Structure 1
Amino acid sequence: MSDEKIQSYAQAILAVASAESNPAQVEDEIYRFSQAVQASEELKSTLSDASIPSVRRQQIVEDLLDGKASQTTAALVSMLVAAGMGSEIKAIADQMIGLGAESRDKAVAEVYSVVDLSPDQQERLAAALKSATGKDVEMKVIIDESVMGGLLVQIEDEVIDGTVRTRLKQLREAF
């Protein structure tokens, strides 16, 4: 899929979210949905399978988001699936979040952790990342058990890897 097409969808979704509701909420809900899709090969395959009628794929989206996301989010994700963009939900969500953060003059940090971070931990990490990058930061915390401990932070093109998984790998390679 072309980057221009993904960017166009991301811009359109952001424009609709801004016009109809709280864009930050829609960004977060679409991001969380994209993470769920990435975590399930079956769901990813189903939402991108052109042999499954689009009405059925849309119903799956609506069932999954019912009561868990705003009507705006459900309608936008349903529209993406109907348009044959089910395989690109993650890329569109990432692009949309980047555009939204950029419009607020912020950077997006994806933080991978084995456990959810407390509000205090998130504040301290955001302050440290602001100090390192010079930008205010919007964090997306992703629970990832493979991290084992510590954090992996991806902010723009930079990766900060302080995970137990990586340290163990480095120890194995050293001996």
Structure 2
Amino acid sequence: MGSATAQALEASSSALTAAQGITLDVAGDLFSATRLIGETSALSGALADPSAPVEARAALVSRVFAGASAPAQQVLTVAVSQRWSSAADLVDGVEELAVRAAAIAAPDADIEGELFSVSRLVADNADLELALGSRLGGGEGKAALVQKLVGASLHPATSLILTSLVRQQRGRRVRRLLSRAMRIVSTQRDRIVATVHTATPLSAPQRDRLRAVLAGRYGRQIALNEVLDSSVVGGLRVQVADVVIDGSISARLADLRHKLAG
């Protein structure tokens, strides 16, 4: 991410957080805007053109997105008023704002956990991953497929994010889209995602203790995702971003074998 895009995204995210009346309808409007901007190169180029006056870009938002909610128009106006490194970065930025809006609209929903469950479902089902990643078949059909498979079990905010991302993949792999969405939601909620691998399900007290330990270490609230992994023989393996904390017996045995061999 270029420095210009980072600054533009920070300013746009701040405007979203400060806006009043952020609902799932607003998030839906922002996802719709992402799709239209991403599919129309002339529009994305005009909105991201740093040589065009800010007033002209804002006026274009008013004309093109006249049917969108007032908060969505407000946020889009701020977004296009910024300097983005490229038109593609603007599209990604508006998409991030849409995900953040869904998180704001549903503060009590376990969006990260539900997206993680869908990601695991895709990872465990090669045919599903192939169907969702194929260039054949339109986005609407893919969105209908995931809605049929898991839609009823998800919070409306999660369902909106999931179907919107599947509908407008722009060449990206589904699991990468879901991972990015989880990170965005956690960032909006000022917490960190930790993935714990364990051979047997953790009890509620164990999950609470692990969250407390990790929160003390990282100084942030923790969103905990749990993966049942038979290769973990006792103990836990926890991953936070690129950091892996491996306290499993299998890791200790592997380390011992390495030391004996060396």
- Place the TM-score, normalised by the shorter chain, in its bin: 0.7 to 0.9
- For the pair 1:117 / 2:202, whether they are aligned, the reply is yes
Structure with higher Rg: it is 2
- What SS class does the counterpart of residue 150 from structure 1 fall into? coil
Give the length in aligned residue pairs.
172
| Structure 1 residues without counterparts, runs of 5 or longer | none
- What SS class does the counterpart of residue 67 from structure 1 fall into? helix
CA displacement at 1:151 relative to structure 2: 0.8
Contact map agreement 1:11 1:96 (CA 8 A) in 2? no
- For the pair 1:92 / 2:198, whether they are aligned, the reply is no
Contact map agreement 1:13 1:96 (CA 8 A) in 2? yes
| Residues 137-174 of structure 1: per-residue CA shift (max 9 Å, x gap) | 22112222222322111123321011233223223332
CA displacement at 1:76 relative to structure 2: 2.9
In the alignment, which residue of structure 2 is the partner of 1:42?
Answer: 127
How much is the aligned-residue C-alpha RMSD, in angstroms?
A: 2.7
Larger strand share, 1 or 2: 1
- For 1:55-66, list aligned pairs within 5 A: 55-66=140-151
In the alignment, which residue of structure 2 is the partner of 1:51?
Answer: 136
CA displacement at 1:36 relative to structure 2: 1.4
- For the pair 1:32 / 2:112, whether they are aligned, the reply is no
Moved over 4 A (4+): 3-8
State which of 67, 72, 95 in structure 2 corresponds to 1:9.
95
Q: Percent identity?
A: 27
- What SS class does the counterpart of residue 97 from structure 1 fall into? helix
Contact map agreement 2:165 2:177 (CA 8 A) in 1? no
- For 1:83-162, list aligned pairs within 5 A: 83-84=168-169, 87-162=172-247
With over 3 angstroms needed to count, the CA separation of the structure-2 counterparts of 1:8 and 1:116, relative to structure 1, is farther
Give the TM-score normalised by structure 2.
0.56
| Structure 2 residues without counterparts, runs of 5 or longer | 1-87
Using the alignment, how far apart are the partners of 2:142 and 2:226 within structure 1? 28
| Residues 45-85 of structure 1: per-residue CA shift (max 9 Å, x gap) | 11010113434322320111142113343343222222135
Give the TM-score normalised by structure 1.
0.80
